[in-house]
Structures are given as C-alpha cells and as structure tokens.
Amino acid sequence: MPVKLLRLTTVSIPIILGMLSVLTLYTTIPLDQPNRDVYVKQIIFLVSGVILLGLIMFTNLAEYFAYLPFLLISNLVGIILLSALFVAPYTVASTHRWFAIGPFTLQPSELIKPVFVISLAYILTQKINRKLIVYAVYALVYAALIFLEPDAGTTLLYILLAIVTFILWSLKYPVAKATYRSLVFLFVLSLAITLLGLKLIFAAAIVLAGWIILFFSTPDYARVYFFLATFFILLLNLIAVGVWKFNLLKPYQKQRIEPFIKAVQQRGIKGLFSAENLEPSSHIRQARIAIGSAGVKGKGPWQGTQTRLRFLPEYTTDFIYAAFSEEYGLIGAFLLIMLYLTFITGIFLLALTQTNEFRFLVISAVGTLFLAETVINIGMNLGALPTKGLPLPFLSYGGSAMLTNFVLTGLVVKYSRLA
C-alpha cells in the first residue's frame, strides 16, 4: 500500500470514529437522563482533537517533543500531576484519576501517554550511562503512581508499552532474537496448557521440560540471556501473586478477575466465554445482552433498549462498543472492527517504512497502545476479558483520551513524513 494512502487512512479513520462516537452518544441517551450534554462535550473534544492533529502534522511541534529540555519539563509536570491526585482529586467510585476543571475533568494518566512513549524511545536511542536501569526506573515510577490511583488497567498498559518498546529496540542484537524466539515458544506452550485446562502438576512438568529443551537448543552466546529473561518473567509472576495474596488489589478489582481464573481452571478455553465468568455486578452480562439482542442489522438509532432504559452501565465509556452494537447489529460491529484493524495495521506499516530508530520506536509504541486498548475494550464487552477501565480509542466518551489519541495520531503521521 502506498505510504500516502497509509497516512490518509491514519488521519481519516480517527475522525470517522470520532463522528461515530458523537452519533452513538446522541442516539443512546437514556430516556430519564438528566444531563443530555454528553454528546455536545464530545463534539468539543473531537473538534479540539482535530485541531491538535493539524497543528502537529503541519508544524514542527513534533520535532520539539524529542528535545531533552521539553521531555524533562513534561515528565516533571506529569509526575507532579499524578502525585497531586492524592491531594486534590475528583473522586469517582473510590478512584482518584481526575481533576475537576469547571464542567470538565482532566485525567493525567491519559494526557501523559505521548510524553511517556517519546521518552521511552528517547532513553533507548540516546547515549546514556546505565541506560537500561534509567529505562526501568522511569517506567516503574509512572506505573507505581498510576497503580496507586488505583488504575490497574492503565498501569498494565504502561508496563506493556515499556516492554514492547524495549523488545523492538533490542531486536537489532542477535542475542536478543535468539532469546525472544525461545521465550515466545515457551509462552505459547504455557498459554496452550492453561487454555486446555490441564492439572497444575502436569502443566508444570510440560513447561519445565519445554524450558530445558529450549535452554539447550538456544545458542551458547544467548543462554545466559535466556536464563535471565526467564528469571525476570518468574519475578513478574511472583509480584503478581504477591499483589493478589496480600490484597493489594481493591475488592472490586479482585471480583472482576476471580470468575475468569476459576472458569479457565475448570473449563479451559471454553471457560473464557462461559456464563461462570460473569462478574457479580453483571456489567458484562448486560453488555452481552445488548450485543446479542441486536441481531444482524441492529435495533436502529434511538432503539437500543438496554442502553436507553439504563440496563447497560457505563454506556458512554467502557461499554460504548455494546451500545453501538445494539443499535447497528452484527454488520455495524463488524465494520467498526474493520475500521480499527485498518487504522492500526496502517500505523505498523508506517513504522516499517522508518529508517530512523527513534521514530520507528515511537510509531510502533503508538500502534501497540491503540491495539491493546482496542482488543481489551472489545474483549471486555464480549465477556472474554475482565472489566478494565480502558477506553475504546476515539469512540469512548472523554476529553483527555480523545485529545491524547489525536496527538498520538499526529505524531505518527508527522514522523512518517520525516522518513
């Protein structure tokens, strides 16, 4: 596909998704909704986002973003904002993620994403003493501050961005390629065993045997790195177990995850889509009813009973995919997914056109961000994943997310033109 066409789709699809967002918010207003200005605010966010997109595309702002003074000041402001949430937050459902500014709210963890992505790429591509330590500390500081809000979903997203960016940077080293090949195979093996629902002792024996075979089949120069990478993965698992066992998660967070763990343990891959994994609050149950009752063509605009009669919770944010699907059915839901698939694939193809390592890492990280948010949000709506407060890019209501997503899109287009 020509690069110009890739850029065109990268610019046009977010605008189309933004207009669909406004339409969906307008046609799904509950009958007894006292505040009917949600879609009006979304129009303001959309127009503002498009203006930001144009500014980044047609000016040199994106180049200034990569300057060290800008990154230092931006990260300092970001850390101050995240820390200030514990002093003067706008609290929703016992979480401290926003500041209230008049009729609007500001979510720092969303607005910091462009700075975080650029900083990750900057650290890895510059000559910095003890680069990897600086990189790890930088990522963990943000992850810790966001986790304490608490916002486990966004925390995992930040960690994922840091890991993927590091992997893409390290692929230029042969030792890394050999290590990752072995780890990917081991991961696939472990995932297959988990989904098959094998007993713990048999699963552990198979994984251990696979690890031994991979260790001795890995080239000599890469074995120490394979061992260290395995140790790092085990350490992450121990941290996850510690977070779970010592009740560092909020009760509502554990309630969202426990049914999925039990369902997979009991029924393997079938458990992901079984009734047992529905959380007690029935958020996912109502989302499934909304999607399933729509049929092929959907109920039509203003006809979504699950949404307009207030059965579907968070229809403007977490479950807007279900609200959209209820009105436009299987056909509309499929076309929406195709829009996202085209958009995200285009970003990764633009990354592959880059010869500059820094810009390649930034564009790839942006693609990873949009891919993760889309898969997690839609998977959550379908009941295949636990409920997480991650928005569906450009479709979910929210000014911080909308503006941030357009800034990230602008960076992709601008950096691709500098190739």
- Each residue's pLDDT tens digit, 202-239: 666 776 777 777 777 777 766 777 777 777 767 766 77
Closest CA to 94 of 221, 253, 258, 202: 253
User: Tokens 């970001």 identify what position?
Assistant: 78
**298 pLDDT more than 80:** yes
The conformation of residue 185, written as its DSSP 8-state character, comes to H
Whether the upstream peptide bond of residue 150 has omega within 30° of 0, thus cis, is yes
Rounded average pLDDT over 352-369 = 95
> Cβ neighbours of residue 326 under 8 Å, at least 6 residues apart?
290, 291, 293, 294, 298, 299, 304, 305, 306, 307, 312
Query: Would you state the structure tokens that stand for residue 335, as one six-digit string?
Result: 């076309």
pLDDT score for 275: 46
For the beta sheet containing 90-92, the strands, ordered from the edge strand earlier in sequence to the opposite edge, are 90-92, 95-101, 104-106
φ, ψ of residue 348 in degrees (nearest 5) = -65, -35
pLDDT score for 280: 44
Query: How many Å apart are CA 230 and CA 241, to the nearest integer?
Result: 17
Summary mean pLDDT of the chain: 83
CB-count exposure of residue 231 (10 Å: 0-12, 13-18, 19+)? exposed
Q: Reduced to 3 states, what is the DSSP secondary structure of residue 293?
A: coil
366 pLDDT band, cuts 50/70/90, is very high
Query: Would you state the structure tokens that stand for residue 261, as one six-digit string?
Result: 């763990």
DSSP E strands, 268-343? none
Rounded average pLDDT over 151-175 = 88
**401 pLDDT more than 50:** yes
User: Tokens 């966010």 identify what position?
Assistant: 45
Contact status, residue 22 vs residue 43, Cβ threshold 8 Å: yes
pLDDT score for 100: 77
pLDDT score for 304: 87
pLDDT score for 388: 75
Query: How many Å apart are CA 352 and CA 364, to the nearest integer?
Result: 9
**Which has more confidence, 129 or 262?**
129
**Which has more confidence, 226 or 310?**
310
**274 pLDDT more than 90:** no
Rounded average pLDDT over 106-127 = 94
Report the range of poorest mean pLDDT among 11-25, 217-231, 282-296. 217-231
**139 pLDDT more than 90:** yes
Query: How many Å apart are CA 157 and CA 176, to the nearest integer?
Result: 23
Q: Reduced to 3 states, what is the DSSP secondary structure of residue 90?
A: strand
Closest CA to 234 of 207, 268, 200, 259: 207
The conformation of residue 270, written as its DSSP 8-state character, comes to G
**Percentages of the chain per state (helix, strand, coil), in multiples of 5:** 75, 5, 25
Query: How many Å apart are CA 365 and CA 65, to the nearest integer?
Result: 15
**Which has more confidence, 64 or 117?**
117
Query: Would you state the structure tokens that stand for residue 43, as one six-digit string?
Result: 């129009």
The conformation of residue 67, written as its DSSP 8-state character, comes to S
> Cβ neighbours of residue 209 under 8 Å, at least 6 residues apart?
none
Query: Would you state the structure tokens that stand for residue 234, as one six-digit string?
Result: 């085990």
φ, ψ of residue 33 in degrees (nearest 5) = -70, 120
**51 pLDDT more than 90:** yes
pLDDT score for 251: 65
**413 pLDDT more than 60:** yes
Q: Which amino acid type is present at position 386?
A: P
**Which has more confidence, 329 or 175?**
329
**Which has more confidence, 207 or 149?**
149
Contact status, residue 7 vs residue 416, Cβ threshold 8 Å: yes
**130 pLDDT more than 80:** yes
384 pLDDT band, cuts 50/70/90, is confident
89 pLDDT band, cuts 50/70/90, is low
